[in-house]
Amino acid sequence: MALTVTASACDGGGSKSSTAHYGDCEVTGHRGEFHLSPRTAGELTVKTTLPAPGWWNGDTPASVKSGYEFCMAANIAYRSGLDRVKVENAPFPEVVSGRTSDFDLALAQITITPERSKVAEFSPPYLDSTLGVLIRDGEKIDENNLRDVRIGVAEGTTGQKFVMNRLKPTKPVTSYANDPAMVTALEKGKIDAVVHDTTILLAYPQKREGKVRIVGQYRTDQGYGALYPKGSPNKDELDRIIRQLIDDGTLAKLSVVYLGTAFGQDPNKIPYFTVKSGS
């Protein structure tokens, strides 16, 4: 399923356009400052995995009008002189597999790893990533006993690899194709904890009305990057745009507007866990 979001008008330059419109996103910078060779003329094709509250606000491409990564894509399109953003929804393992090339870039909270870099290209990191631990409210699970409970992970993610290779839990690990199903399984007692990207899990405590809470996070020394098909002719130009979005404060503003609202709490105040020796 895909959604095309069109700019109703463009200003042809200047620091800001008051008439360009990509969903509910505010676009800034100079329209057409950069030059891409998109897969489809006049539009930027972006793959992601929905739902992703705060990042893509909406459960389907047709309902997405805002969010950190959606508005990041809108700003990339605008600065490239493209009037449309085409959103395509796909399973996360498909997005990072390198098996498809029918898109210009993917924005899906993708952690940059050496393995993924073998099959795809990555932008400079645009946000640090850590792995959070989500549990049912009232449970007593911490870094000391986490490996002895039933853990859920998102299929094909760095969280899955971290749990299997670093935590080495004593009970079977269950992988899930999407985040809501994983959190629902936690609420229903099918699993006892979820280990997944902190920036994704932070949306759930307030969304699920206090049924779940984040008790800690693990440092990964990694970051999120935009993913491009291997050999993409647009890598250098897209990298330049993303660096500009970082340097001029656009992404920091999007973080405050969209992720801060979704989080409901400061991720820097969540305790940091360590992997215990022997695990």
Percentage of residues in the chain having pLDDT higher than 70: 91
What is the mean pLDDT of the segment spanning 192-201? 94
Q: Given this model, what pLDDT does residue 77 score?
A: 97
Please give the mean pLDDT across all residues of the chain.
Answer: 89
* Helix (H), strand (E) at residue 3: strand 2-6
pLDDT digits (tens, 9 = 90+) for 30-89: 999 999 999 999 999 999 999 888 899 988 998 999 999 999 999 999 999 999 999 999
The 3 state secondary structure assigned to 200-242 is HHCCHHHHCCCCEEEEEEEEEEEEECCEEECCCCCHHHHHHHH
**Binning pLDDT at 50, 70 and 90, where does residue 233 land?**
very high
pLDDT at 4 over 60: no
Q: Residue 4 is encoded by which pair of tokens? A: 């095309």
Cα–Cα distance for residue pair 151/153, rounded to 1 Å: 7
Bridge partners (DSSP) listed for residue 136: 212
- CA distances for 216 relative to 66, 119, 126, 170, angstroms: 28, 32, 23, 20
**Band of pLDDT at residue 260, cut at 50, 70 and 90:** confident
- Residue 2: what pLDDT? 62
In this predicted structure, which of 7-11, 90-94, 180-184 has the lowest mean pLDDT? 7-11
What pLDDT was estimated at residue 8? 39
Amino acid 190: pLDDT: 98
Residue 225 CA to residue 127 CA, distance in Å, equals 8
For residue 16, the model assigns a pLDDT of 41
pTM for this model (two decimals):
0.75
At residue 259, the pLDDT reads 85
How does residue 21 score in pLDDT terms, banded at 50, 70 and 90? low
